[in-house]
Amino acid sequence: MAAGAGNALSPRGFRGLTWKAERQPSSPERAVALLYVLLALVFVLFMALAIVNLQRVSAAWEALEQARTQSENSHTTAWHNLSEVQHALDKQLSGELKAIHGQLLNVSQEVENMRWKMTRYEAEGGTELSDRLRVLEERDTLLRRQLAEVKQEQSRASALLDAALEGTRNLSEFLCTRCPAGWQQFSKTCYFFSTNNKPWLAAKDFCTSFNAHLAIVDTEQENKFLANHVMENRVFWLGLTDMHKEGDWQWVNGRSLSLSFWNSGEPNNVGHHGEDCVTIYSSGRWNDATCSNNEAWICERSC
């Protein structure tokens, strides 16, 4: 009896179990409730976005309407302005065309008057004009003939003068009597053979002061002439150097060396300072020497 009573539920215990079951809902119901809540939130967000987009679309549509209205107004204004400009240009061109037409009529009338005057003048004074024209033509022919004769005389005189000048020039070149005192003549050139010694640059300056330059050898005959005036055991500076570039021998007038009479083994550019200037021996042979050496020199100038 006691055991059976212990296994049976009392009314209070049964009510307690029923209350706990009602207090704690099942899992499916809870999920459904959450789903409804989420759907409500999504719906609210969707409506809010829809309202915002509708407002933006409405604002854009109003802006487009304003732009279209402004465009139509601008088009109307421009069309009106162009019409006024065209009208003004038409009036101006019309006035100018009328003025030009009037000027053309005046010119045409003046031309007709001039033609009438010319016709009348030709009828009255045609013979006189013909006579004057004939006299002028005859005078022009006579003057042309005289001018041709004067030109021929001038040509003959010019030819005679040229011949006389050429003869005088040839005689002057042949005689060459204008060499200064102390200078020697060869062909059409005067030469000065110094009696003292100077470095090459100083000798070059000396020749320049006499409107001359250190001797430049152009022919074998000229080289022999210079050698004949060189005393035994002496050497003379020539106007030949390669101080600007080793091995590139040039005369003092800037012309490159083409004809040479080097001594055997020369030029050799020996020595600490090198040999950049040229001397001539009494034999007519050349040697490169140090430009600072004190040697005699030869100046050359035209007659």
Domain ranges of the chain: 185-302
Q: Whole-model pTM above 0.85?
A: no
pLDDT value at position 164? 67
CB-facing half-sphere around the CA of 153: CA atoms within 13 A: 6
Torsion-angle region of 250 (φ positive above 0: left; ψ -120 to 50: alpha; else: beta):
beta
Query: Do residues 201 and 237 touch, judged by C-beta distance below 8 A?
Result: no
Query: Do residues 225 and 186 touch, judged by C-beta distance below 8 A?
Result: yes
pLDDT value at position 82? 67
Can you tell me the distance from the alpha carbon of 77 to that of 213, in angstroms, rounded to the nearest whole number? 91
pLDDT value at position 21? 43
Backbone angles phi, psi at 238, to 5 degrees: -105, 165
Can you tell me the distance from the alpha carbon of 285 to that of 290, in angstroms, rounded to the nearest whole number? 17
Using 50 as the pLDDT threshold, list the residues of the chain that sit under it.
1-11, 14, 16-23
CATH number of 185-302: 3.10.100.10
pLDDT value at position 168? 56
Question: 154 to each of 111, 150, 157, 197, how far by Cα in Å?
Answer: 50, 6, 5, 57
Can you tell me the distance from the alpha carbon of 230 to that of 280, in angstroms, rounded to the nearest whole number? 8
Can you tell me the distance from the alpha carbon of 110 to that of 114, in angstroms, rounded to the nearest whole number? 6
| Distance in Å from the first CA to the final CA of the chain | 176
Segment 172-191, tens digit of pLDDT:
555 556 799 999 999 899 99
For the chain, what is the radius of gyration of the CA atoms?
A: 63
